[in-house]
Amino acid sequence: MKPLVLEKEQAGHWLKGLCNNFDIFAPLPTDKGYSDWQKWDGGDLFDVAKGVPKSSIKTFFFPQPEVLFQFNARASAPDAFRLREPKCQDKPRILFGVRPCDARSVVLNSMPYEEDPYFQKRIQETFIVGFLCREGCSTCFCKWTGGSPTGTEGMDVAAIDLGQVLYVEILSDKGKRLVGNGFFRSPTKDEETEAKDFVEKAKGQALDQDVASILRSKGLMHLYDAPFWNSVSEPCINCGTCTFLCPTCYCFDIQDETLRGKGRRIRYWDSCMFPLFTQHASGHNPRGDKLKRVRNRFMHKLKYFPDRFGPISCVGCGRCVRDCPVNIDIRQVLRSLLEI
């Protein structure tokens, strides 16, 4: 479709018109001094802050926890312990104000979860309205991981903030469903020129090397036995902050829970940084040492995943850099691997 323009003063009316059919979530200010994903209640419209919100959008695709099945836990019941799928009453949802790195994480997570029916169903029920980045934060490094501040991977609608208007591009059939009303108009020549100049400027700042290709070309054991892993892992306290904030960390555990005769099987987030994550029933733990856990996390993102799927399993959002309590920086690990 041809690009469209939405006047900012009309954006709130447009979203309110969608509220009957969609739940709308956006990065809204919190009382803790940062923005995070919250349901929009139809109030005053907001400006999307630069950078990424506190949490990633993976919580919309990997709920914490996710109920896979329910069952009657009373042994005397005729249907005791027979699994049944839970009834889902949720409306489709719109994620408004998604940055390119977060949108791209959905594409990357779709690779290992290609045949996961729960994940794929949530993709179909989620409409992503992305905002291209005019200004990044000091912790952003999407260009190093194959992304771009103007990337549109994973988006259904892409918007560029031109000040008084949003320059909008429809990228999917799902996106067409969101703009079928009278709030949009065709762009003027000046608006088209400004939008194109903005995108071309970002392309001119792209890296001249394919980092994922370089890492794929390096020997696995050469990186595995690198001398710097001890110094990288030494300050780590295995808190799991990096994995829970990361949009492309998707490790999970599955457990059955029962309470007052009702049971459910849930899938919930886990972390490869926790000692119990690889604990065997025998007591053996192949990654019992902290060094092995730290190395495995970085090797998965920067070597194992690229070898299997192609791209790096990192979108350069910088959340782990920003919030690590001991200042471990994945950018430095990446540089060290490239220098080997």
- Give the pLDDT mean for 49-65: 93
pLDDT exceeds 90 at position 207: no
pLDDT-based confidence at residue 137 (cuts at 50, 70, 90) = confident
pLDDT at 332: 97
- Give the pLDDT mean for 18-42: 92
pLDDT at 28: 92
Q: Is 241:324 a contact under the CB 8 Å cutoff?
A: yes
pLDDT exceeds 70 at position 150: yes
Whether the upstream peptide bond of residue 247 has omega within 30° of 0, thus cis, is no
pLDDT-based confidence at residue 51 (cuts at 50, 70, 90) = confident
pLDDT at 125: 95
pLDDT-based confidence at residue 182 (cuts at 50, 70, 90) = confident
Cβ-Cβ contacts under 8 Å for 168 (sequence gap 6 or more): 3, 4, 5, 6, 157, 158, 159, 160, 179, 184
pLDDT-based confidence at residue 208 (cuts at 50, 70, 90) = low
- What confidence tens digit (pLDDT) does each residue in 187-199 have? 999 999 999 999 9
Reference 183, options 46, 9, 3, 2; nearest CA is: 9
pLDDT at 89: 66
- What confidence tens digit (pLDDT) does each residue in 213-252 have? 999 999 999 999 999 999 999 999 999 999 999 999 999 9
- Give the pLDDT mean for 14-31: 92
- Give the pLDDT mean for 317-328: 97
- Give the pLDDT mean for 269-277: 95
pLDDT exceeds 70 at position 11: yes
Cα-based angle 283, 289, 291 (whole degrees, multiple of 5): 155
- The mean pLDDT value of the chain amounts to 93
Reference 55, options 84, 78, 28, 81; nearest CA is: 28
Q: Is 253 exposed, middle or buried (0-12, 13-18, 19+ CB in 10 A)?
A: middle
330 to 172, 184, 217: CA distances (angstroms): 33, 41, 20
| % of the chain residues with pLDDT over 70 | 97
- Phi/psi zone of residue 103: left (φ > 0), alpha (ψ -120 to 50 degrees), beta? alpha
Range with the poorest average pLDDT among 79-93, 155-169, 245-259: 79-93
- Give the pLDDT mean for 172-185: 89
pLDDT-based confidence at residue 314 (cuts at 50, 70, 90) = very high
- Give the pLDDT mean for 309-325: 97
- Note the pTM of the prediction, 2 decimals: 0.93
pLDDT at 256: 96
pLDDT exceeds 70 at position 165: yes
Tell me how far apart the alpha carbons of residues 24 and 169 are, in angstroms, rounded to a whole number.
Answer: 19
